[in-house]
Amino acid sequence: MKTKKEIFEYIQNSTNWEIVPNNITVNVPLYLKAGYELWSAKIQDVCVVFASAKDETIDIRIHQNAIKRLDELTSCHTVLVFDKLDSRSIESLIKKHIPFVIKDKQIYMPFALLQIQTQNKKNAPLRKVSLTSDADMILIGYLDNQIHSSMIIKEIAQAICRELRATSQALNVLEALGYVQIEASGRSRYINFISPIEVYDRLKEEAKSPVKYSFFAKDFMDEKVYSGFTALSHYSTLIEEKIKTVAISHKKLTLQQLKAMECDEDVAECKIEVWDREPSVFAHKDTINPLYVLRFFKNDEDERVQEAVEHLETKIIEKLRDMNERD
């Protein structure tokens, strides 16, 4: 059975981090106290609660739900602790970005951007940090003046229509990349961004397209959010193409439903882009955010398109400079 001392020593020896134990100051429901030994600590001045599972045979989803609840209660990063864990459960936790420690074997703490396997004394290289779709979406909201500094995580989660845990993970990525600073005050954590112009300049190099794939379809009957050339035409004087481009989230329809809609271009009524996020978030009415439009067409060789993109970018930069001056 793992003990607090053993786990803390294991983490310290593997990472050279300073771990300072402290006390949990919030009331925890009895079912969590019954299922886990809870240890609170500060790691490099970051608040962390370790939840050592008393029963490692129960469904991994129960542990995932417990961690989610502890995150909400403590406003700290919560880490599951196990003696042993099968590969399928490990894969499930990593896929959902849930921190965990397996004694003398593995440390996975995405909030610290750390993944180390210490079994057989072989360390796995750290993954390169890059923008996630949620992190990117937060920055889009910030540049569109719908998210701002001094907001708490809950407010940002509401703005991007994501759950608290996913938003917290995205903000950890942004903090690691230097886009934000997260400051704790009591049980709340406040987010402070670098300047809008700095964010914009960095995103020109670091951001990726949200489009996973696209196809032609006869029609799309649901509420439409226009993208692609249709969106560029909306934000410029370009004449709109006959076939409209519509963006949808990859969670909107099943793969079978999407395949059933597909058709040849010559009989199509629209082009559908399947996004890695919800395109309606920070959309301007029924059209995707103009910041996405700049990404799509920045390398287009058509002179008319480039002229439209430059005009749109000029308006966006003027708006960002105004934001800078107000800040």
Cα–Cα dist 233/241, whole Å: 8
**285-321 pLDDT per residue, tens:** 999 999 999 999 988 999 999 999 999 999 999 999 8
Q: What is the pLDDT of residue 1?
A: 59
Q: Quote the radius of gyration of the chain (alpha carbons, Å).
A: 23
What is the pLDDT averaged over residues 215-228? 89
Asked if 158 contacts 306 with a C-beta cutoff of 8 angstroms, the reply is no
Q: Which of 31, 27, 37 minimizes the C-alpha distance to 7? A: 37
Taking CA atoms, 155 is separated from 146, 152, 213, 246, in Å, by: 11, 5, 31, 28
Asked if 169 contacts 134 with a C-beta cutoff of 8 angstroms, the reply is yes
Q: What is the pLDDT of residue 124?
A: 43
Domains belonging to the chain, first-starting first, are 4-121 (3.40.1350), 133-206 (1.10.10.10), 211-316 (no CATH)
Q: What is the pLDDT of residue 126?
A: 41
pTM (predicted TM-score)? 0.66
Q: What is the pLDDT of residue 114?
A: 53
Antiparallel, parallel or unpaired: β 180-185 and 188-193: antiparallel
pLDDT band at 226 (very low <50, low <70, confident <90, very high): very high
Q: What is the pLDDT of residue 178?
A: 87
Q: What is the pLDDT of residue 45?
A: 74
Q: What is the pLDDT of residue 128?
A: 56
